[in-house]
A and B are shown apart, each in its own frame.
Chain A
């Protein structure tokens, strides 16, 4: 069949080829913010060519396709217009949609082809719907946790990993049986259902701090299932797009889990909550020093170099625009202000960069951890806004700490550290942060947005 393509088929294949090139260019241009502006149009043109080419197939029911495309657009536009703070849950939701598409197409193909399916095809198809199925529910769970519809706290119970493992084993067992006996139609829905259930159970024990890794991993799964779908449909473009998406997700998850000093398996199968035993015990009465907005403003305006360390707390308090005002006020006074970005700060890869860029902070002021860490000793003030674990010096020194070994931002090496925090309550992970008790640390108690606002007011009112 491949030997003699009809003219239409040839055109379609050529359009797919052009689309593949455009997709790769689109990703290549993401290497820097200056070229990234081209990424979107390259991707869009590729997409239009591919869809247009597909519509050239003869004898199609165009009316139904048009209705579906319009409906999808109606749903898609508001999803493209969400607030920047909602981007993590939007991303999780779109992973679910992508996986839904793949799973549905895979299921439909199974029923169309059974029992006339080669063993290899059945194996790939099973992979497609198992990966797709667990990504649907897993991503929905992640989106629910990020949107705070579901509790963000990790839920754990005894034998959790055993239950998950057994479920996956059953799904894979059914897959193997179907490979050998593709006529056993009635088993197929069970395989999908188990994959769906597995997705839910996989995300239940995962807490907020692990979300960047989990979202990346789900991204990778969505890509791999799409590539599997490409094998099933013998569609090269789909294989390429799936492989690109899959490698993107996997690379991001590797970066994220390295930034937490944890392995994949540890993120997925070892909830953070289980380890916390050591810290809190005998250390409650240690003194902390706190400061008022006036004092903080005075210290900041006397500084030459300031590094601001944003975290998820800044996103929750929607403080990024106030932070921008602070950046402006300090820059005007000749203070050198930069931002230190930890790879897992926030709830998804790059979360802090997007929020700060939204607030119009130039991207050349946003510095990655590895680049900026050596500058902390020469820094007058490190201002931590809503970040916790990524600044915890116990990760360097305390072998009993659950986050021991995790690369952190060395804020404690700055001359003065100021931490904006609601109270002394440890975060979700419940890990005590010795940073708060250091002699050079000042705690600024209050809501991030309100506190930064009052510092800005002091700076502009206090006359420079």
Chain B
């Protein structure tokens, strides 16, 4: 078994993804911290793939039952998370297109 090399690969991926995450999230506008949280929540629900495999392979009753509940929980996060993130992001509007009549429109 090359499980130890798998482990090292996994550690590399984890550390590098953590760095990317840190750099990307640091730049997220504080305006959007609430949608950020619901978005990461939806993305995190990718755990559903592990649960799907559990249900699909049906290795034991316990695993199938646990997997089934896990798929339901994760799917509700995916659907609900993307829905509400989309709703929130659509609410953020700039005043620029609407603010034409302002006196200082000559500047900039």
Contact surface of A with B, Cβ cutoff 8 Å: 1-3, 19, 23-24, 26-28, 30-34, 36-37, 39-40, 43-44, 46-47, 50-51, 53-55, 57, 59-62, 64-65, 67-69, 71-73, 75-82, 84, 87, 90-91, 94-95, 97-98, 100-102, 104-105, 107-109, 111-112, 118, 120-121, 215-216, 219, 222-223, 226-227, 229-231, 233-249, 251-252, 255, 341, 343, 348-351, 353-354, 357-358, 360, 362-366, 368
Contact = CB atoms under 8 A, between A and B. Distances in A.
A229 B71 contact: no
B75 A73 contact: yes
B28 A27 contact: yes
10 contacts: A71-B72, A76-B78, A104-B67, A107-B66, A118-B3, A227-B14, A246-B18, A248-B36, A354-B91, A357-B92
Contacts of A82: 84
B47 A239 contact: no
A98 B63 contact: no
Contacts of B75: 68-69, 71-73, 75-76
Nearest to B96: A364
A379 to B, nearest CB: 19
A354 B35 contact: yes
B103 to A, nearest CB: 9
Given A98-B73, A244-B20, A350-B30, A219 B37 contact: yes
Nearest to B46: A241
The residue among B18, B64, B77 with the most chain A CB atoms within 10 A of its own CB is B77
B105 interface: no
Interface of B: 2-3, 5-7, 9-10, 13-14, 17-18, 20-22, 24-60, 62-64, 66-96, 98-99
Contacts of B91: 84, 354, 357-358, 360
Given A28-B24, A348-B33, 4 more contacts: A59-B57, A108-B66, A231-B10, A343-B30
B71 A363 contact: no
A101 B29 contact: no
Given A94-B81, A245-B41, A353 B31 contact: yes
A100 B55 contact: no
Which are the 10 A-B pairs with shortest beta-carbon distances?
A72-B75, A80-B83, A76-B79, A60-B56, A350-B33, A362-B95, A247-B21, A79-B80, A76-B76, A350-B34
Nearest to A247: B21
B79 A80 contact: yes
Nearest to A249: B40
B30 A65 contact: no
Contact of B80 (A77, A233, A358): A77
B82 A40 contact: yes
A72 B29 contact: no
Given A236-B13, A364-B95, A366-B31, A247 B41 contact: no
